Amino acid sequence: MDSDAREDGNREDTEDRAIQGGEESDHVRHPRSRVGQSQPRLGSRVLLTWLELTVVGMTGGILGATVGGPPGFIVYLATSLVTVGIIFYNVNELIKGWMGVTGADDGKDA
């Protein structure tokens, strides 16, 4: 009975050391989240994206209408390009956040 208690105590100590050191031993796995990391905030990212798209769209629309003619058309095209860039950037940030939480990016050098 004492040996069982010692083994349980050793196992808990090993798990605590693995978690505190940021390392994972063979018997301690966290497939869904890392200790100490929060999940990416989808709501705030969506709100930020909406705000960025609104600002860029309004600014590009006003500037394109003010300039008019072929230069105005170029401004509209540039506004569309920036809009796509904003969407790609924010989706990329969400994916990176989720990969960091799930540990899917371990062992890859970027």
Evaluate if residue 86 carries a pLDDT over 90: yes
Give the CA diameter of the chain.
88
Give the pLDDT mean for 59-64.
95
For a pLDDT cut of 70, what percent of the chain falls above it? 61
Residue 44: pLDDT band (50, 70, 90) is confident
Give the pLDDT mean for 57-80.
95
What are the extents of the domains in the chain?
Answer: 1-36, 37-101
Give the pLDDT mean for 40-55.
88
How confident is the model at residue 29, as a pLDDT? 45
With H, G, I as helix, E, B as strand and everything else as coil, classify residue 28.
coil
Amino acid at 44: S
Residue 101: pLDDT band (50, 70, 90) is confident
How confident is the model at residue 92, as a pLDDT? 92
Polymer length of the chain: 110
Tell me how far apart the alpha carbons of residues 28 and 25 are, in angstroms, rounded to a whole number.
Answer: 5
